[in-house]
Amino acid sequence: MSEHVLVTGGAGFIGTALIDHLNTNGYTTSSFDHHEQPAANGHSVATDLLTPSAFEIELEWLNGKLKVDRVIHLAAQVGRLFGEENLRHSIRSNAEMTTIVASTTAKMGIPMVYTSTSEIYGDQAHAMCHEDDGPFDLPHNLYGLSKRWGEEACRLYNPRGLIIWRPSMPYGPGAPPGRGRRALDNMLWQAYHRMTIPVHIGAERSWCWIGDTVDAMLRTIEYSHKHDNPIAYNIGRDDDPRSMLEIAQRACEMADAPLSLIKEIEAPGKQTVIKRLSTEKIRGLGWEPTVDLEDGLARVYDWIKHFDANGHKIS
């Protein structure tokens, strides 16, 4: 009998790809999101996860109808910039909402997966971050801090069989460019429209294709029956670090745009300049990345062409 998985935030960038991957691999899925969405993946509904009674009622109804075997909590306010702009909303969307989901699923005996972030490590400069090291310094932005709170809330309320994902730099088609959005997408979009491309001096990332990201996530779920205690996984790559200056230069090359568009600037406060996360754990589950950055950049560039200079989708 296949496992039925409920995904909160299922209409988002990772959620959409993850649901497709779960369905392809024999799982059945449902999704809760604040945006109403098609019901092709089972029960899909616009749900206010910040209202405990509403979430509990929906989850009880779904569990009675389909028996939910696991809840994957993806819904969140994502990003350093958006996190700092509306502090109350970020705290409620990440810390409070996660506490509601963890306590409600625990009451119903449903194990959960919590999607945290690599930002919980703070800025460790060139040091490699391992999941079980610690204690870590406090994150240096509210986004990271609120997601770290979420991890602790899940450990407190629903630790049995808990999986914690700490994604790092997933990318691929499906997300719009614009202010506060993913830097890689923005650089391609800016090059295409001949806009200035700001690059943080010294910034370095290892980017992970979204298909490889959700494959790593699935492997952790399939391994989960072998443990009852909480376990955290870095989800991303550690084998292909690239400077953001190189990404900007490649974006200009792909768009046949002048390199003079690139403007190197100091990273703002509360920005993690270098990210290096160990992937020893997920590689131990047989995971390997399959899409190299050059191929992935080309696919995202084709997607970005469908957005005008204001970030609006045109086709």
Note whether residue 282 is domain-resident.
no
Note whether residue 134 is domain-resident.
yes
C-alpha to C-alpha distance for 115 and 165, rounded to whole angstroms:
5
Count up the domains in the chain and report the number. 2
CATH of the domain at 300: 3.90.25.10
Q: Per-residue pLDDT tens for 27-82?
A: 999 998 876 554 445 666 667 788 888 889 989 999 998 899 999 999 988 877 67
Residue range 190-194: mean pLDDT, rounded = 97
Note whether residue 149 is domain-resident.
yes
- Say what the pTM is: 0.93
Residues 64 and 190 placed together within one structural domain of the fold: no
* Poorest-pLDDT segment among 74-83, 99-108, 167-176, 223-232: 74-83
- Report how far apart the first and last C-alpha atoms of the chain are (Å, whole number): 41
Note whether residue 314 is domain-resident.
no
Residues 215 and 266 placed together within one structural domain of the fold: no
Task: Render 109-140 in DSSP notation, one character per residue.
Answer: T--EEEE--GGGG---TTPPB-TT--PPPPPS
Note whether residue 23 is domain-resident.
yes
Residues 180 and 107 placed together within one structural domain of the fold: no
C-alpha to C-alpha distance for 246 and 216, rounded to whole angstroms:
26
C-alpha to C-alpha distance for 220 and 272, rounded to whole angstroms:
26
Residues 181 and 102 placed together within one structural domain of the fold: no
Note whether residue 144 is domain-resident.
yes
Note whether residue 309 is domain-resident.
no
Q: In terms of residue numbers, what domain contains 197?
A: 175-206+240-274+290-304
| Average pLDDT taken over every residue of the chain | 90
C-alpha to C-alpha distance for 33 and 99, rounded to whole angstroms:
17
Q: What are phi and psi for residue 160, nearest 5 degrees?
A: -65, 115
